[in-house]
């Protein structure tokens, strides 16, 4: 059967696409998926981005992932290398040394607002990420609004859900791109929990959370 030349990939065009991807990676540093609350789909968006980049030929690995992933997230991990977490005094932490040794083009870090246990090289996971960035590795990560230190107190007043693990707002200044992972107000209310204190009007909490995210 004759081959339709119009359907064959143009080698020159493929080379241009590869060069364009290389230039993009050279200028990238950090991409953050920011959510108003847990369960809005940050991890899915992050892993799907990794999947699509891998299909485009980029060297993508997972440096840290949340435990007990639902099936739809496990599916996205099928063709991506995962660097196992290491244990320090029984606590699991991202294996920065192994990632640096592997030195991928892109590293996915799910949940950047983690405190590392005593004995770790860095006290916080966001500092681990800064180390990867300094080594020239593009990092794609996720975080909830309440885990940004400067937003923590305001969100706690609305949700009455204290958090102890945060990142400084200045960490986000490293980002080339911040993607807001949004959901309808009713679903946001369900994910964030019922408001407490003076905020008891239906629909008030999502608006207040949204205001914190856009401020």
Cα angle 79, 83, 87; round to 5? 145
- In this prediction, residue 198 has a pLDDT band, given cuts at 50, 70 and 90, of low
Query: What single DSSP character describes residue 119?
Result: T
pLDDT per position as a tens digit, 22-77: 455 556 799 999 987 777 788 889 999 999 999 999 999 999 988 777 787 888 88
Q: What is the mean pLDDT of residues 157-181?
A: 88
pLDDT per position as a tens digit, 75-87: 888 889 999 999 9
Per-residue model confidence (pLDDT) at position 151: 86
Residue 59 token pair: 């060297």
pTM of the model: 0.75
Three-class DSSP category at 212: helix
| Separation of alpha carbons 1 and 33, rounded Å | 48
Per-residue model confidence (pLDDT) at position 186: 59
pLDDT per position as a tens digit, 111-149: 899 999 998 999 999 999 999 999 999 999 999 888 999
Return the residue matching tokens 């030195």.
103
| Separation of alpha carbons 32 and 172, rounded Å | 8
| Separation of alpha carbons 209 and 106, rounded Å | 31
């Amino acid at each position: 059967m004759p081959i339709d030349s119009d359907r064959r990939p143009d080698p020159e065009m493929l080379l241009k696409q590869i060069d364009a991807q290389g230039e993009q990676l050279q200028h990238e540093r950090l991409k953050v998926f920011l959510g108003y609350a847990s369960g809005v789909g940050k991890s899915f968006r992050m892993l799907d981005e990794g999947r699509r980049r891998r299909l485009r030929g980029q060297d993508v690995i997972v440096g840290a992932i949340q435990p007990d992933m639902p099936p739809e997230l496990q599916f996205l991990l099928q063709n991506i290398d995962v660097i196992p977490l290491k244990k320090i005094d029984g606590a699991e932490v991202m294996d920065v040394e192994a990632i640096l040794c592997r030195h991928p083009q892109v590293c996915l870090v799910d949940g950047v607002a983690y405190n590392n246990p005593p004995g770790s090289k860095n006290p916080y996971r966001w500092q681990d990420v800064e180390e990867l960035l300094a080594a020239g590795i593009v990092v794609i990560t996720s975080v909830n609004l309440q885990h940004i230190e400067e937003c923590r107190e305001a969100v706690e007043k609305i949700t009455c859900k204290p958090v102890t693990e945060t990142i400084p707002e200045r960490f986000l200044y490293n980002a080339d791109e911040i993607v807001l992972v949004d959901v309808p107000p009713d679903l946001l209310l369900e994910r964030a929990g019922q408001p407490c204190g003076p905020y008891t009007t239906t629909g008030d909490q999502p608006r207040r959370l949204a205001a914190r995210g856009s401020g």
